[in-house]
């Protein structure tokens, strides 16, 4: 076959639309006909339905996942004069959000097997913070690729030192730890609803969940100019609203989120079997964690060559993420790191490779990827 013809894309947000086209078209028509386009009935219904699905008391919609993180921090009073700890092996949004509120990011290294924050390094920086930084007020663990962080020791360390845990669940809608959904374990959780996420809008969107009603009310006001009553800003706010069209679409897509996560797990199991006995180990699963496979990531030292071989078989791959945040031009040389110096992060960035992963992959496409993997 033609080496440049991709028969299995790495991601395909259009497939998610086509899979529920009639329902989504009807929801869009309903939202358009309503004559109300921002913060109305669809948004309220989505917030109720998402909170119920998550098992949280409250959900607050917003414009995107980056804003969800900034709104969480604003709601908690975290800004200039605060340090917020997260990882460098994440979407740049996690770090950008910390600077957007005027706080100082402190970036820690990852556990090389699961690519999530090293809890020992977190305990170390909380115990003995790097000199010259403002006090550590919050920790943002990122449940990367669909798998929960090793959260229990992190929660304990944060609590000992009075730091608030804000979960970044943008890649982990429905992931579990010890049987509990991630997002219900810290003080508040933030989710991107970008089209390729496990729950994706057909445009930008974000949502937060929390059991703290007062915090939810505060964030609900901050996302719209600090209004508690119309046109009167009780506090300084921003504009970060989820629109009615996206909310209507998300309500449809939420009905299929659990089934889609199950399909992702099925695809992951097929890849596991195809990799057995070969040179590349399947992703490490954390004991007690339910992985929702936002990405299926292999560690491949000779990555460029392997990506080219898969591409020659029509299989597209991607790299999440090729350059750690602290080494990107905007951040390099000025972003404080933990004592580990993000050494594992730098190594992972050179080796990680994501296989095709989205629920609408057909069995034939999955088999095509498996055949290509068996030939490696």
Rule CB under 6 A: which residues touch ligand PLP? Answer: 64-66, 90-91, 93-94, 142, 168, 170-171, 192, 194, 204, 206
> 43 near 244, Cβ under 8 Å?
yes
- Number of neighbours of residue 99 by Cβ within 10 angstroms: 15
- Number of neighbours of residue 187 by Cβ within 10 angstroms: 19
Closest CB to ligand PLP among residues 171, 261: 171
Q: Smallest Cα–Cα separation from 11: which of 323, 304, 267, 270?
A: 267
The alpha carbon of 153 is separated from its chain's Cα centroid by a whole number of angstroms, namely 21
Give the shortest CB-90-to-ligand PLP separation in angstroms: 5
Between CA 66 and CA 170 the distance in angstroms is: 9
Closest CB to ligand PLP among residues 130, 322: 322
- Bridging pattern class, strands 83-87 and 104-108: parallel
Between CA 71 and CA 174 the distance in angstroms is: 22
Give the shortest CB-146-to-ligand PLP separation in angstroms: 10
Between CA 101 and CA 88 the distance in angstroms is: 18
Between CA 228 and CA 221 the distance in angstroms is: 6
Give the shortest CB-197-to-ligand PLP separation in angstroms: 6
Contacts of 162 (CB under 8 A, 6+ apart): none
Closest CB to ligand PLP among residues 139, 370: 139
Give the shortest CB-263-to-ligand PLP separation in angstroms: 20
Closest CB to ligand PLP among residues 93, 300: 93
Closest CB to ligand PLP among residues 196, 233: 196
Give the shortest CB-126-to-ligand PLP separation in angstroms: 22
Give the shortest CB-123-to-ligand PLP separation in angstroms: 22
Give the shortest CB-21-to-ligand PLP separation in angstroms: 23
* Nearest residue to ligand PLP, scored by beta-carbon proximity: 65
- Bridging pattern class, strands 176-177 and 180-181: antiparallel
Give the shortest CB-206-to-ligand PLP separation in angstroms: 5
Closest CB to ligand PLP among residues 94, 176: 94
Q: Which residue has the tokens 């496409």?
A: 365
Closest CB to ligand PLP among residues 69, 372: 69
Between CA 239 and CA 226 the distance in angstroms is: 9
Partners of 188 in beta bridges: 166
Reduced to 3 states (helix: H, G, I; strand: E, B; else coil), residue 230 is: coil
Closest CB to ligand PLP among residues 91, 252: 91
Cα dihedral across residues 255, 256, 259, 265: positive or negative: negative
Give the shortest CB-108-to-ligand PLP separation in angstroms: 15
Closest CB to ligand PLP among residues 270, 325: 325
Give the shortest CB-172-to-ligand PLP separation in angstroms: 8
Between CA 114 and CA 99 the distance in angstroms is: 26
Give the H/E segment covering residue 61: strand 58-62
| Number of Cα atoms under 13 Å in the Cβ half of residue 314 | 14
Between CA 141 and CA 151 the distance in angstroms is: 8
């Amino acid at each position: 076959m033609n080496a440049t013809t991709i028969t299995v894309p790495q991601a395909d947000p259009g497939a998610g639309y086509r899979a529920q086209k009639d329902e989504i078209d009807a929801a869009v028509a309903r939202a358009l006909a309503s004559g109300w386009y921002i913060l109305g009935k669809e948004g309220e219904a989505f917030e109720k339905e998402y909170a119920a699905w998550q098992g949280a008391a409250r959900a607050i919609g917003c414009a995107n996942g980056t804003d969800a993180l900034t709104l969480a921090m604003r709601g908690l009073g975290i800004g200039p004069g605060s340090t917020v700890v997260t990882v460098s092996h994440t979407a740049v949004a996690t770090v950008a959000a910390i600077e957007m509120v005027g706080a100082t990011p402190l970036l820690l290294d990852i556990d090389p097997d699961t690519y999530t924050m090293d809890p020992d390094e977190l305990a170390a920086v909380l115990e003995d913070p790097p000199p010259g930084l403002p006090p550590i007020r919050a920790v943002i663990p990122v449940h990367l690729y669909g798998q929960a962080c090793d959260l229990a020791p992190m929660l304990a360390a944060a609590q000992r030192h009075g730091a608030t845990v804000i979960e970044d669940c943008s890649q982990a809608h429905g992931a579990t730890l010890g049987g509990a959904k991630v997002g219900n374990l810290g003080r508040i959780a933030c989710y991107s609803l970008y089209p390729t996420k496990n729950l994706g809008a057909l445009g930008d969107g974000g949502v937060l969940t929390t059991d703290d009603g007062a915090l939810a009310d505060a964030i609900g006001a901050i996302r719209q100019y600090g209004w508690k009553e119309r046109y009167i800003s009780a506090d300084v706010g921003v504009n970060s609203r989820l629109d009615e069209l996206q909310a209507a679409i998300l309500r449809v897509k939420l009905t299929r989120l659990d089934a889609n996560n199950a399909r992702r797990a099925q695809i992951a199991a097929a890849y596991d079997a195809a990799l057995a006995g070969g040179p590349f180990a399947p992703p490490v699963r954390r004991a007690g964690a339910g992985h929702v496979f936002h990405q299926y990531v292999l560690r491949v030292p000779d990555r460029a060559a392997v990506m080219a071989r898969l591409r020659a078989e029509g299989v597209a791959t991607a790299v999440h993420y090729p350059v750690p945040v602290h080494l990107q031009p905007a951040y390099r040389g000025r972003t404080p790191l933990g004592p580990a110096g993000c050494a594992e992060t730098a190594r992972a960035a050179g080796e990680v490779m994501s296989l095709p992963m989205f629920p609408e992959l057909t069995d034939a496409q999955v088999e095509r990827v498996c055949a290509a993997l068996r030939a490696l």
